[in-house]
Chain A
Amino acid sequence: MESYALLLAATLNAGTVLAIAALGLLVNEKAGIVNLGAEGMMLCAALAGFATVVHTGSDALGFVAGAAAGALLAAVFGLLVIWLNTNQYATGLALSLFGAGFSAFAGTGYVQAKLPERAQFSIPVLGDLPLVGPALFRQHPMVYAAIALALGLVWFLYRSRAGLVLRSVGESPESAHALGYPVRRIRLLAVVAGGALCGLAGAYLAVIYTPLWVEGMVAGRGWIALALTTFATWRPARVLLGAYLFGGVTMLQFHLQGAGVEVASQFLTMLPYVATIVVLALISRNPAWIRVNMPASLGKPFHPGS
């Protein structure tokens, strides 16, 4: 029983990085922009966050720096794809390659650096409960923030006017434009917000989850987050569950290995992507599903007045 509580705790923690990044990507995909640069943004943000904590000793500042780094890179990407109408996929790939190279190059001075000790976080009273305490109430605040973020996004996208406008820009930019909404500016805002969240996820990874900086440390989590938005058919609550699922699969595999059950790790590494392809195949076969979930103008450039 005890070990299952700990497994659940580890799963929630492992899913947090994926959840925050994927929710960010969800925001810009809802506005009709695919940003394949997630991995690069997360790497640069991981470095920015880590370096900031090394110099200031403040985790909060590290998160801010990570979010800012992600937002900045996303803004460059946004200007390229929204105003210069470059191909979204190629530009996103370039951003991922750039982010990987640049973070490696700029981070050489930080590879041996150490972060200060931190106390174990625990919610008073609740954290002391047997079983439930260690499983649910002794996590880093960011774990709860990810859940709040998903719920907040559900409200924003489906219950608020601004969310409706954002979705309309992703569904039919021409109509939104005809109604007088600044489509390109809204898309840029969505892209920057997505970048900031990817950045926050990257900073959490390097500051809290694995408190060190080494080049390439995001190790594919940006791509998993991208796969996750599709897998979850662009629904925030499903993204959150999917993140725990993908995070949990890894933890479960280690747990099973420790218990003597053999599962090929390569097979599990492949799972998120296979699941995504399956979902894509499913929704492309069923027109009703696509209409409900996939932003209709996803990945398509928009020229006002054309």
Chain B
Amino acid sequence: MTDITKRSLLQAAALSALAATALVGCGRSEPPAPAPGQAPTAAAPAAPAPAPAPQKLKIAFAYVGPVGDGGWTFAHDNGRKAVEKEFGDKVETSFVENVPESADAERVIRDMAANGNKLIFGTTFGYMEPMLKVAGDHKDVRFEHATGYKTADNLRTYDSRTYEGAYMAGVIAGKMSKTGTLGVVGSIPIPEVVRNINSFTLGAQSVNPKIKTRVVWVGKWFDPPKETEAATSLINGGADVLMQNTDSSAVLQTAEKMGKRAFGWDSDMTAYGPKAHLGSAVINWAPYYTKAVREALDGSWKGGQQAWWGVKEGAIDMVSVAADVPEDTKKRIDEVRAGLKDGSFAIWKGPIRDNTGKEVLAKDQVADDKFLGGVNFYVAGVEGKVPGGEKK
């Protein structure tokens, strides 16, 4: 069929209509349009042209998941909202959701820079190389990369000490577990996640030295049905308290369904499993985001830095602890929190052995950030081996 017929025109029209609809709603920008009722009507007299407003700082956020994941991306978006609230009309923020950790990321971030954003946040590890590349081409734009380790003159990294939240969850889990077996649904075996599994186990062993932890890896950050299957498998294997380092609430919901206990991760997830929920290890990005924006506004922003914030800076906390957690355990959580705040308590303090019996930290030796950044072993009490994972 070479000649253009009515049929092929119809085909083309139908297919392009499908494609166009699929593309709608990919990007969104705040602030939203004025609410109906406030929209100027054609009959309204034309207002005189206002004086040019002072230049707003345009800020863009690239998210790896949907804002509605109730976890990781949701927490970042709460940070963005805090920036809006703090700086009001001095800033204009926008975000793009579901930016995959692939060549697409570079395209999206390049677009953001080209559209006049002067401060760009990329909120997942996989944006590291794309951001580095775009930062090289846009020297007048400031870039902030979450969880990465490469910096440039106009690119710096920030991260949160999620393992502090994991440790506090562990303290509760060690107290509440009846079987003595904990389960963790892991995403991808990078040091960050392995460190969280270990810290969770160390916390649990601080109240019950006999605790064992089982780990199941799903190989993804976000796949709710798979997270459900992994959680089911852990419960079937005898674990009665679960934690997860994945981005949805599926693990907590599975525990709720099967009458076991679990934690919220990244955001407060109480609502997703009120009976199963023991507490939520939350990340609060607001302190860092407001600091970064303030520096961008007053000109003191500098690239090349690496921030790693935790309980001390107000970036990590354990919230909504369940009512049936004993008082002495709640008190212990308060002590840990206070100790992390004033620096009197360290989670990673020797003697710590890995699960093959090798001593990784000698007695009274405290791990530095370099050590923590390269954790690729399980501590004693965690079963199995770390999958031949990537090293940072």
Contact = CB atoms under 8 A, between A and B. Distances in A.
Given A209-B225, A212-B250, A101 B26 contact: yes
Contacts, number: 141
A272 B53 CA distance: 59
Contacts of B387: 262, 264
Nearest to B215: A257
B179 to A, nearest CB: 13
B305 interface: no
Given A94-B19, A114-B272, A260-B384, A108 B214 contact: no
B11 A258 contact: no
Interface string B132-172: 00000000000000000000000000000000000000000
A84 interface: yes
Contacts of A3: 236-238
B254 to A, nearest CB: 8
B236 A6 contact: yes
B22 A100 contact: yes
Contacts of A262: 384-385, 387
Contact of B224 (A10, A112, A212, A255): A212
Contacts of A278: none
Contact of A84 (B14, B23, B24, B271): B14
Size band of the interface chain A makes with B: 35 or more
B15 A90 contact: yes
A219 B219 contact: no
A111 B248 CA distance: 11
Interface stretch (B39-47, B66-74, B277-285, B356-364): B66-74
A46 to B, nearest CB: 10
Contact of A112 (B21, B68, B227): B68
Contacts of A211: 253, 257
A142 interface: no
A221 interface: yes
B311 interface: no
B25 interface: yes
Interface string B276-320: 000000000000000000000000000000000000000000000
Given A211-B253, A257-B217, A258-B237, A111 B26 contact: no
Nearest to B16: A94
B322 interface: no
A107 to B, nearest CB: 8
A64 interface: no
Interface in B203-242: 214-219, 222-230, 232-234, 236-238
Nearest to B183: A258
B334 interface: no
Interface in A197-230: 205, 209-212, 214-219, 221
Interface string A234-274: 00000000000000001100110111101011100100000
A123 to B, nearest CB: 18
B331 interface: no
B391 interface: no
Interface in A10-43: 10, 14, 17
B170 to A, nearest CB: 19
Interface string B47-75: 00000000000000000001111100000
A217 B227 CA distance: 11
B225 A258 contact: no
Contact of A212 (B218, B229, B248): B248
B219 A210 contact: no
Contacts of B69: 111, 214
Interchain residue pairs A-B with the least CB separation, the first 9:
A111-B68, A101-B22, A254-B233, A105-B25, A265-B219, A6-B236, A258-B237, A98-B22, A260-B384
5 contacts: A104-B25, A105-B25, A214-B222, A251-B232, A255-B237
